[in-house]
A and B are shown apart, each in its own frame.
Chain A
Amino acid sequence: MNIVNGADSAEGATAVIGISFGNGNSSIAFPAKDGKVEVIANQDGDRSIPSVLAYVGEDEYHGFQGKAQLIRNSPNTIVNFRDFIGKSYAAIDPTYSHRSAHPIEQDGIVGYKIVLSSEEDAQPEFISVAEIAKRHLARLKDSAFDFLGKPITGAVIAVPTDYSSSQRQELTKIAEAAGINVLQIIQEPVTALLAYDVANNGVFSEDRIVLVADFGASRSDGAVIAVRGGMYTVLATAHNYELGGSALDQALIDHFAKEFEKKHGIDPRTESARSFAKLASEAEVTKKTLSASNSATISIESLAGGFDFHSTINRLRYEMLARKVLDNVASFVEELVHKAGLDVLDIDEVVLAGGSSHTPKIVSRIESLFPETTKIEAPATSAKALNPAELVARGAAVQASLVQEFEKSDIVESMQPVVTNAPHLSKPIGVLLGDGTFATMLDTYTAVPIRKAKTFEAPKDGGDIIIEIWEGDSEIVTKGLEKPKENGDGHGGNEEDDFDEEGDFDDDEEDEEREKVVKPVTKIADAGLKGVKAGAKIEVIINITADMKVSVAARELGGQAVRGKIESPDVVK
């Protein structure tokens, strides 16, 4: 565990934090030295803190201690409430609350009936989702204060892309009630990407298309994001509220329950709430072990009917049990690419977020969907990968450090539609080279205003040259290969894949290769440059204003520029 002393990390007498608030877990991070961010451990030493509160008599248990109460005291244990915030009772999905305190409605408010006293005849009292969320956030803030040893003056909180504006408002209100000054609410997938961009590049990030897939506990979320000039535009999002770590847990729960039943004639899933909770808790631990090791043992004292349970399982067996879930993971990602109107070849990078992205098979299944040129950011593929469960908290901390000096009114102003809504290019703009190829200067989805300069070369002996500005279009071309690949697994997955009976990669055995090319389609303008020196460097600048006025300047470095304007398109789609 990486405990940093608050005093020698972030400078200054106060601190800002980034908060990831999941249905399953929450994390907090803060801007440390040298533009780095650090994740905070709570008082129990946990960096991934279960979003759980449990009540035993007058005592409140939070985090892992709260989650442990699911075994002893499930009706008084509250889990999975983040998505309930700002929703009516009719709109919530209580699926993940079946084994804990049930959400109910009172006076039009969603909440729980909880015993909050140790008195013998204590009656359950109503406690709203907003109150629970407030207590949870206050606990997180306290942990940050204890860790950093200085007052927390502001926080950036990330929410899923399907969080409605009324949910965002309600969450802000709740956080303020918990004593947290909310600097900004931002979207989870963009936040996760920001964490990588800052860790990899400092302040500047290359133009590319990134798919962020977040596999959490109760749900899976994804977004396709165009990165242009360091700015992020979400092209498509997807959500699946049944797919996540709980579905993987369930595969193991069912497997072990059947094994136990065969031996003892008792199904621990139905025997009692307690036996189910014990099995579920250990199944999750076993699942996590299988992310790091090839086999795991499970051992539960007095699981049901007074019998203990001991078993072992290897990773391959687990992956077979989880096959359906893993298939759904793969199709979730494929559908998201299609939803964005893109091809897998258009995706330059995949960022895997959420605790379940620790699962090696999730990573290899997704990896097999993309060409080798697509960079996959996950612990299973890159030693430098960040912890997927911590990405959102880290990115939120980065954003907190960026906005901390601003007045709240300035932050609010910068989020207005007049600033966020911008015309984006629908086709790439580039320069036609001597060999007939298209050199992209501004790619599709670039937002305006934008200014881009690029340097080209004159023919070796110099002379009169022409700079042709074209609009292009990308195309997928298929070319036959001399000999078929030996095995379709383009990424050389781990050995176990070879045992995979049905073979994930069988549909890959193609003897042709698909490739993306950008072709010049429409000539927009050209500029002649007379008598340039031998080996001269030619700079081309394209400038597009916020009202879509396009101007071009081309010059030999050190020489006079030829300038011109391009008629701007009269429509915005």
Chain B
Amino acid sequence: MSVAVLPRLPADRTDKDAFVSYSQLSAFTLRSIEPVGPQYLSHARRALRGRTWSEDER
């Protein structure tokens, strides 16, 4: 893959250092994760104990 170089800001953009949201994501699908593997245990801790990602150094 080519180097991931970001594009330049269009000159006509008024708010230069800003975040603009245009549209929402497509609907999520509800699926079942397998309760298997090391990452799942971290997921379960987050889901059950409300742990955040930063508390949860992997």
On whether the two chains bind one another, the answer is: yes
| Docked-complex contact A471 and B26, CB < 8 angstroms | yes
Give the interface residue-count category, chain B.
35 or more
Q: Choose among B2, B30, B37, B44 the residue with the greatest number of A CB atoms under 10 Å from its CB.
A: B37
When A and B form their complex, what is the total count of cross-chain residue pairs whose Cβ atoms lie within 8 Å? Answer: 220
A56 at the interface (CB under 8 A from B): no
A184–B43 alpha-carbon span in the complex (Å): 17
Which of A2-10, A38-46, A358-366, A423-431 lies on the face that meets chain B? A423-431
Q: Which of B4-58 contact A (CB under 8 A)?
A: 4-10, 13, 15-41, 43-44, 46-48, 53
Q: A419-B48, A434-B7, A563-B19 are in contact. Are A187 and B25 (CB under 8 A)?
A: no
A365–B53 alpha-carbon span in the complex (Å): 44
| Docked-complex contact B34 and A190, CB < 8 angstroms | yes
In chain B, what residue has the closest Cβ to A450? B53
A554–B17 alpha-carbon span in the complex (Å): 10
Chain B residues with Cβ under 8 A from A432's Cβ? 7
Q: Within the complex, what minimum Cβ distance (angstroms) separates B41 from chain A?
A: 6
Q: A232-B37, A468-B7 are in contact. Are A528 and B13 (CB under 8 A)?
A: yes
A439 at the interface (CB under 8 A from B): yes
Q: Within the complex, what minimum Cβ distance (angstroms) separates B56 from chain A?
A: 10
The residue that A528 contacts in the complex, of B3, B15, B40, B43, with Cβ under 8 A, is B15
Q: List 27 A-B contacts (CB under 8 A).
A: A194-B37, A229-B39, A230-B37, A402-B38, A413-B44, A417-B32, A419-B35, A420-B34, A420-B35, A422-B31, A424-B28, A425-B25, A425-B26, A432-B7, A433-B2, A448-B28, A456-B5, A457-B3, A457-B4, A465-B6, A466-B10, A525-B21, A527-B20, A552-B19, A566-B25, A568-B24, A572-B28
Q: Which residues of B does A touch, CB under 8 Å?
A: 2-10, 13, 15-41, 43-44, 46-48, 53
4 smallest CB-CB distances across A and B, nearest first, come from: A564-B19, A230-B39, A423-B28, A464-B9
Q: Which residues of A does B touch, CB under 8 Å?
A: 184, 186-187, 190-191, 194, 197, 203-205, 225, 229-235, 395, 399, 402-403, 413-415, 417-427, 429, 431-435, 437, 439, 445, 447-449, 451, 456-459, 463-468, 471, 522-530, 538, 543, 546, 548, 550, 552, 554, 562-573
